């Protein structure tokens, strides 16, 4: 049996039916495709305009360097990764997806980042002042796609 994983853009072949029974809640009947439930931003990645893509990549690069400056003081002992940035069509809101390792208390870490989002927005404005007229509002979200992939690997074994 062949199952398509859209996140990694690959087909996976299942050798026996026991793997199929473990994955049955995730598989669409008669289609044999995994439903892409990894993260909300991976579902709509092709719907942004060219300008949104360019701005989101620049925001991702700049916010990663800003978080690197502050993360050792705010969240010691954790590794934060900016996995993706989604920009609204009017470039007014930036949804920033962050992966936290180790993942214990990751919701509290994201809440702490959201409490200090004005500091991050101010520093982002200093870096983007010549490229954007208006600095987007920042909202941090937890990206748990690595935990989801780990769960899929456990089910396949």
What residues contact 60, with CB distance under 8 A and at least 6 apart?
Answer: 82, 84, 85, 96
Q: Does residue 36 surpass a pLDDT of 70?
A: no
- Which token pair is 6? 């859209």
CATH superfamily to which 43-145 belongs: K homology (KH) domain (3.30.300.20)
**Rounded-to-integer distance, Cα 17 and Cα 11, Å:** 17
Q: Would you call 5 helix, strand, or coil by DSSP?
A: strand
**Rounded-to-integer distance, Cα 7 and Cα 46, Å:** 13
Q: Does residue 43 surpass a pLDDT of 50?
A: no
Give me the percent of the chain exceeding a pLDDT of 70: 71
Least trusted range by pLDDT, from 43-47, 128-132, 152-156: 43-47
Residue ranges of domains in the chain: 2-36, 43-145
How do residues 94-129 score in pLDDT, each as one tens digit?
999 998 888 788 889 999 999 999 999 999 999 999
**Rounded-to-integer distance, Cα 96 and Cα 87, Å:** 9
Least trusted range by pLDDT, from 27-31, 134-138, 149-153: 27-31
């Amino acid at each position: 049996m062949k199952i398509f994983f859209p996140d990694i853009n690959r087909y996976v072949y299942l050798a026996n039916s026991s793997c199929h029974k473990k994955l049955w809640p995730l598989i669409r009947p008669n289609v044999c495709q995994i439903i892409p439930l990894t993260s909300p931003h991976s579902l709509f990645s092709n719907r942004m305009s060219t300008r949104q893509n360019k701005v989101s990549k620049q925001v991702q690069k700049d916010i990663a360097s800003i978080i690197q400056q502050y993360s050792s003081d705010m969240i010691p002992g954790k590794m934060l990764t900016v996995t993706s940035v989604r920009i609204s069509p009017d470039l007014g809101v930036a949804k920033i997806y962050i992966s936290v390792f180790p993942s214990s208390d990751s919701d509290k870490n994201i809440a702490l980042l959201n409490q200090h989002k004005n500091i991050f927005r101010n520093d982002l404005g200093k870096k983007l002042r010549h490229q954007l007229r208006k600095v987007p509002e920042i909202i941090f979200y937890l990206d748990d796609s690595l935990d989801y992939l780990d769960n899929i690997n456990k089910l396949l074994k």
